């Protein structure tokens, strides 16, 4: 029995200098840390080595160098079946010849858990993931969302230290995405550490407590969603991520039928949106191109008007990025001529307007 040094920190998963060359794909110098209870989203375009990283973490392939530490245990060379890094596949990979119940029971049965305990665990996880009524169904009869719930329950049943999610929403329709996003958040709040790998910035914006950006086979930036999105570390990230204005908060429906998004930022921040979404937790996204700046209170049809102070003016690939502090930071892209004609500089008072139709709501 090897002795490992127990690492005393809140780090649940530490990836340190991981490298693997595999034909045309390779990763190198991949380092990041996922703290206990964190929702870490690794965001990267396709072909950036996400799959290679994933297979190295789960042990399908062996890394050439580097270390993977899970809950203080070096699992770099550990056998696949002993890693305790619960994988949730994009296509669910449920066992088609077993009922949902037997799928969920597979992990605990493999570890020799008592039959009666397995049954209790399956019932518990099925109710937690909302599939209690589907236990005796065959996976082939499940909808995409139901199958992903079953896959989550199956991964959790094996008692992982951390869940590894491979594009868990990309094969789902939009309704199921909302459900699964909500479930993922719930599981994370219940204490489960998550490492979620995706190419979809909306998933990252809506779920992450921390985002890592993957580019050319390595992790180039790790930060909070707000900082990654408002202060992308490179032009590539800026273009890849594409959005600057991301707000977490709640969706509420007013008595007159309008949908109002309220942010949980320090200062009250309120956005009117044009969408069919129901009430509840949500993320609002506004492209910086959709923000109009003016020096005086404009007479406009835009439903969202903020008065604020310019906190930053940065030249961008096209135009100039102006950050306005109006309770929450609002980033606008304007032309250089607009900056001149409005006389913008740090500290200027400006009005920022956003059409309700330009506010994109991500539910869940």
Partner 1 sequence: MSISRIEPMHLVFAALGGVLLLFIVAPLAGMFLSVGKAELSEAVTDREVTSSIWLTLGASMAATLIASFGAVPFAWILARKEFPFKKLVNGIVDLPIVIPHSAVGIALLGVLAPGTPVGSLGEKLGVTFIGGVAGIMAAMAFVSVPFLVNAARDGFAAVPVRLEQAALNLGASPLRVFLTVSMPMAWRSIISGLVLMWARGMSEFGAVLIIAYHPMITPVLIYERFGAFGLKYARPVTVLFVAVCLVFFIALRMIAGRRSHAEV
Per rule CB under 8 A, is residue 23 in the interface with partner 1?
A: no
Per rule CB under 8 A, is residue 91 in the interface with partner 1?
A: yes
- The span of 9-17, 92-100, 124-132, 174-182 binding partner 1 (CB under 8 A) equals 92-100
DSSP label of 46: T
Give the bridge partners for 313, in sequence order. 322
- In this structure, what are the phi and psi dihedrals at residue 80, rounded to the nearest 5 degrees? -50, -45
Residue 268 contacts by C-beta under 8 Å, 6 or more apart in sequence? 262, 327
Nearest distance from residue 267's CB to partner 1, in Å? 45
Query: Looking at 110, 143, 258, 300, which residue binds partner 1 (CB under 8 A)?
Result: 110
Query: Looking at 19, 26, 78, 84, which residue binds partner 1 (CB under 8 A)?
Result: 84
Binding residue count for partner 1, defined by CB under 8 A: 25
Distances (CA, A) of 119 to 134, 156, 174, 336: 14, 14, 32, 65
Q: Which two tokens stand for residue 352?
A: 């920022």
Buried b (16+ CB within 10 A) or exposed e, 299-313: eeebbbbbebebbee
DSSP 3-state of 15: strand
Distances (CA, A) of 249 to 187, 258, 283: 19, 16, 6
Nearest distance from residue 225's CB to partner 1, in Å? 28
Nearest distance from residue 323's CB to partner 1, in Å? 44
> Under rule CB under 8 A, which residues in 117-156 are in contact with partner 1?
154-155
| Overall size of the chain counted in residues | 364
Of the two residues 118 and 205, which places its CB atom closer to partner 1 in the complex? 118
> Under rule CB under 8 A, which residues in 61-80 are in contact with partner 1?
80
Nearest distance from residue 84's CB to partner 1, in Å? 8
Per rule CB under 8 A, is residue 275 in the interface with partner 1?
A: no
Query: Looking at 44, 49, 107, 217, which residue binds partner 1 (CB under 8 A)?
Result: 107
Q: What is the distance in angstroms between the CA of the first residue and the CA of the last residue of the chain? A: 44
DSSP label of 5: P
Binding stretches for partner 1 (CB under 8 A): 58-60, 80-87, 89, 91, 93, 95-97, 106-107, 110-111, 154-155, 157-158
């Amino acid at each position: 029995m090897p002795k490992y040094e127990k690492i005393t920190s809140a780090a649940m998963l530490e990836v340190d200098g991981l490298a693997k060359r595999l034909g045309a794909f390779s990763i190198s110098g991949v380092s990041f840390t996922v703290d206990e209870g964190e929702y870490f989203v690794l965001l990267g375009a396709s072909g950036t080595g996400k799959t290679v990283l994933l297979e190295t973490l789960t042990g399908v392939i062996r890394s050439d160098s580097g270390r993977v530490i899970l809950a203080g245990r070096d699992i770099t060379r550990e056998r696949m079946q002993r890693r305790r890094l619960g994988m949730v596949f994009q296509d669910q990979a449920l066992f088609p010849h077993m009922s949902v119940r037997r799928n969920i029971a597979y992990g605990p049965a493999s570890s020799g858990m008592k039959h009666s305990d397995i049954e209790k665990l399956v019932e518990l996880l099925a109710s937690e993931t909302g599939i209690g009524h589907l236990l005796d169904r065959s996976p082939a009869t499940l909808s995409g969302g139901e199958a992903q719930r079953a896959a989550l329950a199956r991964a959790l049943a094996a008692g992982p230290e951390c869940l590894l999610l491979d594009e868990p929403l990309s094969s789902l329709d939009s309704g199921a995405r909302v459900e699964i996003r909500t479930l993922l958040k719930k599981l994370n709040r219940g204490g489960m550490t998550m490492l979620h790998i995706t190419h979809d910035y909306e998933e990252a914006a809506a779920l992450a407590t921390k985002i890592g950006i993957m580019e050319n086979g390595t992790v180039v930036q790790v930060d909070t969603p707000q900082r990654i999105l408002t202060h992308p570390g490179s032009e590539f990230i800026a273009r890849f991520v594409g959005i600057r204005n991301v707000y977490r908060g709640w969706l509420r429906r007013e008595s007159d039928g309008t949908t109002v998004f309220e942010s949980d930022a320090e200062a009250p921040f309120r956005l009117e949106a044009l969408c069919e979404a129901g009430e509840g937790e949500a993320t609002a996204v506004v492209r910086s191109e959709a923000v109009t700046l003016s020096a005086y209170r404009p007479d406009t049809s835009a439903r969202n008007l903020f008065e604020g102070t310019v906190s930053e003016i940065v030249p961008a690939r096209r135009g100039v990025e102006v950050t306005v502090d109006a309770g929450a930071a609002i980033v606008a892209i304007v032309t250089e001529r607009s900056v001149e004609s409005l006389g913008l500089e740090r500290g200027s008072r400006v009005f920022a307007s956003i059409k309700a139709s330009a506010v994109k709501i991500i539910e869940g």
